[in-house]
Amino acid sequence: MGTLKERREIRLNGQTMARGRHGVARIPVLTDLDGCEIELVIHAVVGARPGPVLALHTGLHGSEWQAVEISRRIVESLDPAEMSGAVLALPVANPIALASRTRNLRDESDSPDLNRSFGGEQTWIADQLGRAIVSELYANADAVIDFHSGLWGAAMGSVTCGRDFSDASVSERGYRMARAFGLPHIRRSDFVTKFPGPKSSVGHAGQVLGIPGIISEIGGVGFDPTLEEEWAMTTVRGVRGVMQELGILAGAPPVADRILVFDTVRRVNPSNGGFIEPIFPAADLMSREVRPDELLGRVWSPYTFEVTEELRSPVRGLVDMVPREYPARPGDWAYLVVDLDSPGNRSLGPNDLP
C-alpha cells in the first residue's frame, strides 16, 4: 500500500503520543445541559517503529455496545514492540447514546444518528462528536474500521467495503482491507451514492478525506457463549489481518482461497410486532445456503400466542443476520439474506481485485 505515509508522530488533543507505548488521550467535546462534560477517550497503541496508522471506532450506535468488548480485546492483544505504525481505538464513539443504550442520541435534533451526521456543520451533539472524530482520530489515520452489530439478541456475519468512491484507489484499498480480514465473503456496496452516503463515518472518511475503510459486523450477544467467543475471535483475527495488510504487523494476512464478493442483501423483517421464533440456527450464519421461500423464523403474538407472520427467504442465499427469540416491533431486525443470484456478485481468487 504505497500511498501510506510513514508518520513521524501521533498527536491527540495537542499532545504527542509516546512511541512504543499504549497511551490514553481524552478529547473534550462539549458540556451537556446536565453539566456533564462529554469527551472522547482514545487509546493510542503506538509501535516501536514508525508506519501506517489504523483507526478503529466502536459504539457509534449506543445500542450496539457488544463491539466495545472487541475494541478492548484488540487493544489488549497488541504489543507496541511488534508494531510499525499505530492503532488508535475509540471504544465509545457516542457516549451519550451508550448511556441511554439507544442507537441514536435522544435529542430533538435534525441529526440524532451519529453515523448519519459526519460532515455536519451545526452544533447538534452528533455534529460535534463527528467533527471531534474527524479532527482527532481521522486526522492521524491512514485507514479506518467502523464496528457495528445487531441489537442484543441479533448477530451478523460479514465485513463491508465501498465500491463507489470518487477516488477508485480508496475503493481498492478498502477491498484489500476487507480481504485481509480472512473471511470467504465480502459485502461490497455503494457508500457514496446510496443512503446514507458520505454522512456515514466510512463514507465520509473515504469520499471527503480519501481514507479507506471497512465496516466490521460480526457476531452479537445473547447467543451460545461458545459461538459468541468464535465470533469475537474471528473479529480480532480479522483486525490483525488488516494490520498485516497495512504493514503495521509483520506477515501476510490470512486471505481466503476463494472469496464471494456480494452486493445485494435482502431484509426479512416483521411487518407487525411480535415475538420472533428463530428457525434458522445462529451457528449457520453465512455458511449454510437457504432456498428461496425457506422458512427462517416465525412471529407470534405475545397476547394470543398465535403465529402472525412467517419470515421466509426471498432468494437463494446466505443468512447474514439472525435473531434469537426476542420481541420485535414492526420493521425491527430479524434476518438479512445475501442474494446469491445477484448479477453484481463475483467469485474471486485471493489475488484478484473486483
263 binds Zn ion (CB under 5 A): no
Shortest separation between residue 59's beta carbon and Zn ion, angstroms = 9
- Looking at the Cβ atoms of 196 and 273, the one nearer to Zn ion is 196
d(CA 155, CA 151): 8
φ/ψ of 166, rounded to 5, equals -55, -40
* 87's grid cell: 492503532
CA distance 251 to 248: 10
**In the complex, minimum distance from the CB of residue 300 to Zn ion, in angstroms, rounded to a whole number:** 27
Pick from 242, 243, 17, 25: nearest CA to 132: 25
Q: Which part of the chain contacts Zn ion (CB under 5 A), choosing from 56-64, 125-133, 152-160, 226-234?
A: 56-64
Which among 31-39, 57-65, 104-112, 224-232 is the span making contact with Zn ion, rule CB under 5 A? 57-65
Tell whether residue 199 is a contact of Zn ion (CB under 5 A): no
Binding mask 138-167 for Zn ion (x = CB under 5 A): ----------x-------------------
The answer to whether 307 touches 299, Cβ cutoff 8 Å, is: yes
Of 216 and 313, CB closest to Zn ion: 216
Binding test (CB under 5 A) with Zn ion, winner from 45, 47, 64, 83: 64
Nearer to Zn ion by Cβ, of 148 and 240: the residue is 148
**Segment 291 to 350, residues that bind Zn ion, using CB under 5 A:** none
Task: Provide the total of helices (H) and of strands (E) in the chain, helices listed first.
Answer: 6, 20
Distance between CA atoms of 249 and 132, rounded to whole angstroms?
28
Closest distance of CB 62 from Zn ion, Å: 9
Choice between 45 and 93, CB closer to Zn ion: 93
- Cβ-based nearer residue to Zn ion, 57 or 324: 57
Which of 46, 40, 10 lies closest to 27, judged by CA?
Answer: 40
| Nearer of residues 89 and 154 to Zn ion, judged by Cβ | 154
Terminal alpha carbon distance of the chain: 17
Is there binding between residue 61 and Zn ion (CB under 5 A)? yes
CB of 333 to Zn ion, least distance (A): 11
The smaller minimum CB distance to Zn ion, of residues 43 and 61, is found at 61
- Binding residues for Zn ion, rule CB under 5 A, total 3
List strand residue ranges (DSSP E) for the chain, in order: 11-12, 15-16, 21-31, 37-46, 49-58, 84-90, 143-147, 154-162, 185-189, 213-219, 259-262, 265-268, 274-278, 289-290, 295-300, 307-312, 317-323, 326-328, 335-339, 346-348
Give the interface with Zn ion as residue ranges (CB under 5 A): 61, 64, 148
